[in-house]
Structure 1
Amino acid sequence: MHRRRRTALVLSAAIAAAVPFLTACGSGAHPGAAAVVGGQRITVSQLESRVDEVRQAQRAAVPDETQYQQVLASTSSLTRDTLHNMVLDQVLHRAAQDAGVSVTRKEVEQLRSGLEQQAGGAKGLQAAWLQKYGIAPKRLDDNLRLQVEATKLAQVLGTDTAQPAFWKALAKASQELHVDLNPRYGAWDVQKSSRVDAKTPWVREVTSAGTQVSA
């Protein structure tokens, strides 16, 4: 498998359909929260700030208005995908802690260096991560740390990130953290460690000029 795709495996593989073991929180129980992970809130404003970072980077990368509108259309689920990544980051970190895994700055720098060589430089890597995974340039190192953490966790478990043993460790971490999502953003599948769409037909997402609003 191409190395770039391997390093982004955790980020992309869990965005898939799942069925049982869903958890969700109402905005009444956690006002202003997009999600609650380990008793800590990911606020709606924090989520919107992350989405704005990506939209601003996309706007800078695609100045043509027609092409930008096409980018918006192709990334209409950005808000939900961004929340998924924010939650998964904490779940993976908890699983890594449980396994005694830590990541050094040098390991992140080594991964970034190798990927930059493949992408034709720092700008090329930033553009690739923005386009393929919705990661703003300022969050690139944070995401690469996530990839290193996932790889090291899999090694400790004697498996790889595509195998059930790896995702079982993440499921255990999800249970420990009692992940709750605001229903407007879906629900959290504990066994898959993934955000899924909740069956709430009264919730709809409206995308307009790059701003996503749920009502």
Structure 2
Amino acid sequence: MHRRNSRRRTALLLSAAIAAAPVLTACGNDAHPGAAAVVGDQRITVSQLENRVNEVRAAQRAAVADEAQYAQTVARTGSLTRDTLHGMVLERVLHQAAQDAGVTVSRKEIQRMRSGLEQQVGGAEALETAWLQEYGVAPKHLDDNLRLQLEAQKLAAKLGTDPSRPEFWKALSVASKKLDIDLNPRYGTWDVEKSSRADAKTPWVREVTAAGSEQQPT
């Protein structure tokens, strides 16, 4: 029971770190042609980001009965693009922090965690649905997300803390600095101290409120 609660707390903490943000449109010159973010020596391209978002949307559409329900789902996840980019960057930050601490995760550990979660929720399909609804993770990326959870758990254990404590996020902050993360301004900025995406306050960015959607504070 303790292990189950620990896994869920880790998942919730990492997903909660992806804060909902206003829908934005950017105008003016693009200083990051083709890139949504640069993390260390790796580029997350706009195309890669769009593909990841489209995978989630396709899974969301397949999980509901009709267009009306899908429209409601889209309205509830209006910040999906920015949330997804945050997750893609945070994944690299956490992996860097884990590497720095000598933490590794094996394929066998991922499968063990997945099997345990499937037993808890009632099967593979139920787990995929739960991760899609709760964390915006498409089924094909479920194992990647479980690796993220395991890396977080093992990193916290190595540091003698847990993912809710400042010591854990300090390690991520160090990794963020090391990777020298640079977000395309249309997607905001990266707060190194918090290892979190933030909306850029720039004159060429205009906020657009989607009709019928609720905005949450960042």
Query: 1:134 maps to which residue?
Result: 136
Match of 1:112? Answer: 114
* TM-score, structure 2 normalization: 0.86
1:61 — aligned with what?
A: 63
Structure 2 CA distance for aligned equivalents of residues 195 and 9 of structure 1: 17
Partners of 1:69 and 1:78 lie apart in 2 by: 14
SS at match of 1:84: helix
Q: Percent identity?
A: 70
1: CA distance between counterparts of 2:200 and 2:143? 31
Instruction: Give the superposition deviation at 1:30.
Output: 2.5
Specify the code of the residue in structure 2 equivalent to 1:11: L
CA distance in 1, matches of 2:166, 2:144: 25
Amino acid paired to 2:65: P
| Distance across 2 between alignment mates of 1:86 and 1:156 | 23
Distance change in 2, residues 1:90/1:205 (3 Å): farther
Return closer, same or farther for 1:114/1:142 CA change in 2, 3 Å cut-off: same
Pair 1:12-2:25 in alignment: no
Deviation by residue 1:121-163 (Cα, 9 ceiling, x = unmatched): 1111000000010000000000000100110000100000100
Q: How does 1:39-78 map to 2 (within 5 A)?
A: 39-78=41-80
3-state SS in 2 of match to 1:34: strand
- What is the alpha-carbon distance in structure 1 between the residues aligned to residue 145 and residue 178 of structure 2? 22
26-35 or 54-63: which moved more? 26-35
Match status 1:203 vs 2:206 = yes
Q: Does 1:176 align with 2:183?
A: no
1:42 aligned counterpart, secondary structure: strand
Pair 1:200–1:92, CA change in 2 (3 A) = same
Asked if structure 2 preserves the Cα contact closer than 8 Å seen for 1:27 and 1:182, the reply is no
Q: Is the 8 A contact 2:121 2:127 kept in 1?
A: yes
Q: TM-score under structure 1 normalisation?
A: 0.87
Question: Paired residue for 1:94?
Answer: 96
Name the amino acid aligned to 1:56: A
C-alpha contact 1:54 1:135 (8 A) present in aligned 2: yes
- What is the Cα deviation at residue 175 of structure 1? 0.2
Is the 8 Å Cα contact of residues 7 and 149 (structure 2) preserved in structure 1? Answer: no
Letter in 2 for 1:152: K
Alignment of 1:118-197 (within 5 A): 118-197=120-199
Question: Could you tell me which residue of structure 2 aligns to residue 21 of structure 1?
Answer: none
Q: Per-residue CA shift, 1:82-136, capped at 9, x if unaligned?
A: 0000000000000000000000011111111111111111111000000010000
CA separation of 1:206 and 1:56: change in aligned 2, threshold 3 A: farther
Partners of 1:14 and 1:32 lie apart in 2 by 26
Return the alpha-carbon distance in structure 1 between the equivalents of residues 29 and 125 of structure 2: 39
| 1:38-81 Cα deviation digits (max 9, x unpaired) | 03210000000000000000010013111110000000000000
- Structure 1 spans left out of the alignment, 5+ residues: 18-25, 209-215
Range with greater deviation from structure 2 (2-11 or 81-90): 2-11
